[in-house]
Amino acid sequence: MCCAASAQKCSISYMTTADFKSKIWNLQGTEWQYIGHSPVVIDFYTTWCGPCKRLAPIMEELASENCGKVIFFKIDIEKEPELARKFGINSIPTLMFIPVSGMPGMLQGLREKAELQGVINKHLLNK
- CA dist 2 and 5 (Å) reads 9
pLDDT digits (tens, 9 = 90+) for 48-78: 999 999 999 999 999 999 999 999 999 999 9
Q: Which domains does the chain show, CATH number per domain?
A: 38-124 (3.40.30.10)
Q: Is the pLDDT of residue 1 over 80?
A: no
How distant, in Å, are the alpha carbons of 5, 32, 43, 96, 110 from that of 102? 35, 9, 19, 13, 25
pLDDT of residue 6: 41
Give pLDDT tens digits for 11-41.
999 999 999 999 999 998 889 999 999 999 9
Q: Which residues are catalytic?
A: 49, 52
φ, ψ of residue 9 to 5 degrees: the values are: -115, 125
Give start and end residues of each alpha helix (H) in the chain: 17-23, 50-65, 81-86, 113-119
Question: For 75-106, how does the pLDDT look when each residue is reduced to its tens digit (9 = 90+)?
Answer: 999 999 999 999 999 999 999 999 999 999 99
Query: What pLDDT, on a 0 to 100 scale, did the predictor assign at position 8?
Result: 56
Q: What is the rounded CA–CA span in Å between residue 61 and residue 18? A: 26
